[in-house]
């Protein structure tokens, strides 16, 4: 959804780890039914908010392409392996 420029509604247990509340979407209490209903209504009726959150979501998604995530994982693995080499190798 983010890569397509759509604002995201999520809980802290989902994409809330990468999505910033009020910037790329809305992070909601998973048990707050009224909060979810209100957020859906807000996005349905506020086109400026939808556009602002969606544009920011598209930009944020670029930080999580396969190439970028893979490169970060590779660097982490290389650093971990380098830290575990015996002295003198």
pLDDT at 89: 59
Q: What is the pTM of this model?
A: 0.73
Residue 84 pLDDT > 80? no
pLDDT at 67: 85
Read off the pLDDT of residues 7-60 as tens digits, 9 standing for 90 and up: 999 998 867 668 899 999 999 999 999 999 999 999 999 999 999 999 999 999
Q: Report the C-alpha gap between 1 and 32 in whole angstroms.
A: 22
SS3 89: coil
Q: Report the C-alpha gap between 51 and 42 in whole angstroms.
A: 12
């Amino acid at each position: 959804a983010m890569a397509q420029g759509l604002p995201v509604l999520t809980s802290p247990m989902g994409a809330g780890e990468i999505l910033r509340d009020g910037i790329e979407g809305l992070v909601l209490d998973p048990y707050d039914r009224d909060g979810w209903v209100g957020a859906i209504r807000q996005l349905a009726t506020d086109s400026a908010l939808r556009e602002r959150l969606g544009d920011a979501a598209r930009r944020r998604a670029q930080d999580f392409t396969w190439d970028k995530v893979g490169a970060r994982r590779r660097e982490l693995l290389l650093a971990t392996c380098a830290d575990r080499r015996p002295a003198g190798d």
